[in-house]
Structure 1
Amino acid sequence: MRRWPRIAAWCVAALVLAGAALGSATVYFGWYDVSATGPHTVPVYALLDVASTRSVKLRSADIDVPDLDSPDRIRRGDALYRAQCAQCHGGPGQAPEPYALGLNPAPPPLVTSARERPAAEVFWIIRHGIKMTGMPAWQYRMTDEQIWDVVGYMRVLPTLSPQQYRDGAPSGGPASSLASASTSPSSSATATPPGDMRVGDMRVGDAKAGRAALQQYLCVTCHAIPGVPGARHYVGPSLDGMADRSRIAGVVPNSPDYMQRWLMDPQGIKPGTAMPALGLREQDARDIAAFLQTLSNFE
């Protein structure tokens, strides 16, 4: 009877050593893909999400929250958010700047963050940043009072419609430029971005390429997508069973052509929608539309 505990212990030790050897080989021989175009696997993403959530909760527990409802605080926070945060996180109906689309993990939209996280946690994240995400520590760039101003404004952000957010932008600011662009024939949502493929170079939609493109255009930060790791909290509806739905945004028939148009120019399909124009290349929109057609619950 005494042999079995020893055998079990040796088996466990052998498994641990084998796992350590495999992990070391994966790192040493470069088998692990570190490219920004290759997203984390679902288990890795889930592990990092839990680690981040628990770490922030622990370290923000003793933070005293000041009054966040002052109109002056919210007004100051509005200006700071547009100047420092919207470039990566966007706003209601406003896409992030192009350079933010390539970050991995993708910066989440902050429209609902203040509803889902306590104010102390939001303050801690802004002040200290998050390792390996591109989120900087703003304590070296803003005072604590300014950070609380941003937290106060983020509590108001979920109540703003895309039009209200644009109307609140200062003249000549990013949001007012977006409002002008959305009514201009030369809108970036319909114009061909620099370096885009010529029409003659277009190929049919590739679902595999579309799945990869979803990561680069931050689709996973707003929508739950089956089999694709992304944010834990979502602004938009789940895309599960997207191929089975009869209409897109409740407006146009659900077909690859209409989906491509919706992805490239959502305001043109449904004015006032919170879906931002992300500046998709036509081929990328075609690929994503092809991938969405694979999301069926009846296959």
Structure 2
Amino acid sequence: MRDPPRRLTPAKAVLAAFAAAGVLAAAGGAAFVGLGVYDVSATGPHWQPVHSLLELALKRAVQRRADAHPPPNDLLTPQRVMQGAACFRDRCVACHGAPGIAPEAFSLGMQPVPSSLVEATRHWRLQDLYWITRNGIKMSGMPAWEYRLEEGELWSVVAFLEALPLMTPDQYRALTSAPEAAPRRAATSAGPAASAPVRGTPRCDGLVEAPAPLAPPLSSAELARRAFRQHGCTACHTIPGVVGPETSNGPRLSGLAGRDRIGGKAFPTEDGLAAWIRNPQAIDAHSAMPTLQVSENQARLMARYLLAH
């Protein structure tokens, strides 16, 4: 006589149902990716649920991290607004546009389309805007400006964004294109003191020797990996310990300390490798490796990492 089948308890039945659902979801996800179902072309938008989920994730992620960077007390000053206008003109207008100025044509073909920043301060706190400007946003086309703008310049961009909602096209053009010695006014919402005449347009140089410290602080190795990513090294090279695409444009950067020469010319020392990273064509005029405006400090950080791997 056969024993009757054993019945699952309610708790085990629920667990089994969840496990089965998990297996089906994993199989469905694998099929979704493997069959290329999702259209990744930039000619069409994300599906609305995907778009909404990404926006929610962005908002929560920024808010969680931005409080480590409170705004400086002297943020809304004419000088900061003018410096921020110079940086915005040189770095941001191409994608985001400005009062009376359309974005460049290429940016209008991006998905998602870069947003207008006229009302950015209605949706983001000042520390949020600083964090986004400094760190960028993955898979959006928004770059990290940490290695291209000084700390003061990053906050000046935020000051400019605070002033932007009240700025007319004529005011923007005057602020960003007047002659160096011409007096002009920074249109801000910070009160009478912010509208005092200021001379000269501050420069936005774009070469950062040492980015502002992060909280929590990163190890030297992680700072080097960050520098490799931010200077685009992974576009051509596979670098030990650095996440990036599989590429063969340039040689794999491992075991450099054991080589006789780097690039056939430079010595495998910190000085030699840092000099090669900063200006390879000064060492070998026929090198295809471009000059990437890497600062001395960052080049040495990267050289020490490579010589240890």
The two structures have a TM-score, normalised by structure 1, of: 0.54
1:170 equivalent in structure 2: 177
- Select which of 150, 157, 168 maps to 2:157: 150
Amino acid at match of 1:57: Q
Name whichever of 83-92 and 156-165 sits farther off.
156-165
Task: Compute the displacement of 1:145 (Å).
Answer: 0.6
1:119 equivalent in structure 2: 126
1:130 equivalent in structure 2: 137
- Select which of 34, 37, 48 maps to 2:40: 34
Aligned equivalents of 1:90, 1:28: Cα separation in 2: 38
Higher relative contact order (CA 8 A, sep 6+): 1
2:113 equivalent in structure 1: 106
Task: Compute the displacement of 1:132 (Å).
Answer: 0.5
Partner of 2:146, secondary structure, is helix
2:61 equivalent in structure 1: 55
Task: Compute the displacement of 1:135 (Å).
Answer: 0.7
After superposition, residues 194-273 of structure 1 pair within 5 angstroms as: none
Aligned equivalents of 2:82, 2:172: Cα separation in 1: 13
Amino acid at match of 1:40: H
Task: Compute the displacement of 1:52 (Å).
Answer: 1.1
CA contact (8 A) 1:64 1:120 kept: yes
- Provide the aligned C-alpha RMSD in A: 1.8
Aligned equivalents of 1:29, 1:116: Cα separation in 2: 38
Task: Compute the displacement of 1:80 (Å).
Answer: 1.1
Task: Compute the displacement of 1:8 (Å).
Answer: 2.6
What do the CA deviations read for 1:137-165 (whole angstroms, capped 9, x no partner)? 10111101111111111111000123433
Amino acid at match of 1:89: H
Task: Compute the displacement of 1:131 (Å).
Answer: 0.5
Q: Does 1:13 align with 2:30?
A: no
Aligned equivalents of 2:144, 2:172: Cα separation in 1: 26
Aligned equivalents of 2:79, 2:14: Cα separation in 1: 66
In structure 2, the CA distance between the partners of 1:72 and 1:168, relative to structure 1 (3 Å rule), is: closer
More helix by share: 1
Task: Compute the displacement of 1:34 (Å).
Answer: 1.0
Partner of 2:37, secondary structure, is coil
Q: Does 1:83 align with 2:90?
A: yes
CA contact (8 A) 2:82 2:175 kept: no
Q: Does 1:141 align with 2:148?
A: yes
Q: How many residues align?
A: 172
Task: Compute the displacement of 1:15 (Å).
Answer: 1.5
- Select which of 86, 91, 101 maps to 1:94: 101
1:72 equivalent in structure 2: 79
Aligned equivalents of 2:108, 2:100: Cα separation in 1: 16
Aligned equivalents of 1:149, 1:45: Cα separation in 2: 30
Aligned equivalents of 1:99, 1:139: Cα separation in 2: 24
1:228 equivalent in structure 2: none
Amino acid at match of 1:68: L
Amino acid at match of 1:48: L
Structure 1: 5+ residue stretches without partners = 173-299
Amino acid at match of 1:15: A
What do the CA deviations read for 1:188-229 (whole angstroms, capped 9, x no partner)? xxxxxxxxxxxxxxxxxxxxxxxxxxxxxxxxxxxxxxxxxx
Q: Does 1:43 align with 2:59?
A: no
CA contact (8 A) 2:134 2:154 kept: yes
CA contact (8 A) 1:115 1:155 kept: no
1:159 equivalent in structure 2: 166
The two structures have a TM-score, normalised by structure 2, of: 0.53
Poorly superposed stretches of 4+, deviation over 4 Å: none
Aligned equivalents of 1:144, 1:73: Cα separation in 2: 12
Aligned equivalents of 2:97, 2:22: Cα separation in 1: 44
Task: Compute the displacement of 1:171 (Å).
Answer: 5.8
Structure 2: 5+ residue stretches without partners = 1-6, 180-309
Task: Compute the displacement of 1:2 (Å).
Answer: 5.6
Task: Compute the displacement of 1:113 (Å).
Answer: 0.7
